[in-house]
Amino acid sequence: MTAPTPSFDAKVLRKTVLDMAYAGSTVHIGCAFSIIELLAVLYRKHLRYPGNNPLAAGRDYFVLSKGHGVMAQYACMRELGWLKDEAFTGYFTDGSDLKGLSDSRIPGLEVTSGSLGHGFSVGVGMAMGAKLRGTDQKTYALVGDGEINEGPIWEGALFAAHHALKHFMVIVDENGFQAMGRTTDVLKLGSIQAKFESFGFEALTIDGHDETAIDSAISQLWASNSTAPKALIAKTVKGKGVPFMESNNLWHYTRLNQQTYIQALDALAGSEA
């Protein structure tokens, strides 16, 4: 398909998420906002889609293991021209193709995810397949910090390191919250970077809203001569971009009404995000 000129501007992407959430009276705004800059950098510079085709045989793979953050990915797919405007105005209504969780029936979404911990292992399998085929395709799996409470994450990490999947990168959205509270209260994680390093990954920790730092860290990890899989730990703010949503876990499941929608748009317009 013909490649448009996408902006991947963080404010534009966040506005798209707000519009979708309001149109569909749906949830998961905060966890979509925390990954906006990460996805903007990936789609702008690092993910390869020959011919701007989300199904191209030689494409890189992006697996949104924290599938409930899918509105952020939909926003990027709109910028690429893969999704049309009517898909957004009719989001989550009867007959809509777009669901509130990642669904592999939508071109551009590699994995049906939402059962946390599963997408990571599927991504590891994709990376293993690419290695067996002898291609240079890269696989990215984006997980939440609460999600890494799940055992399959660490089983997959052991497999990735054992098989030297150097073209696999996990990105951890470390926003400090999961559905039912702060990660430190539910299950302490300690140093996520140290954990992945102990599992044989090459790892870096960065500010997950600093696009220059994100780009530099991804480039640095891929430039390494190590055969180890990669881990990028992104320190983020849940609800980033709208002050009354930031670090407020109510916005994991709260729906917008007309008043909060307008307030959020005004706050976003006046923010520096």
Per-residue model confidence (pLDDT) at position 267: 97
Q: Tell me the H-state helices in the chain.
A: 10-24, 29-33, 36-41, 70-79, 85-89, 118-133, 151-162, 183-186, 192-198, 211-223, 258-270
The answer to whether 249 touches 181, Cβ cutoff 8 Å, is: yes
Can you list the domains of the chain with their CATH numbers?
A: 10-270 (3.40.50.970)
Give the count of beta carbons closer than 10 Å to the beta carbon of residue 76.
23
Mean pLDDT score across all residues of the chain: 96
- Given this model, what pLDDT does residue 272 score? 65
Rounded mean pLDDT, 62-83 = 98
The pair of structure tokens assigned to 105 is: 């029936």
Average pLDDT over residues 249-264: 98
pLDDT tens track for 136-180: 999 999 999 999 999 999 999 999 999 999 999 999 999 999 999
Q: What Rg do the C-alpha atoms of the chain give, in angstroms?
A: 18
> Residue range 224-247: average pLDDT?
98
Residues 6+ apart with CB under 8 A from 156: 120, 121, 123, 124
Strand 202-207: give its sheet, edge to edge: 61-64, 139-144, 168-174, 230-235, 202-207
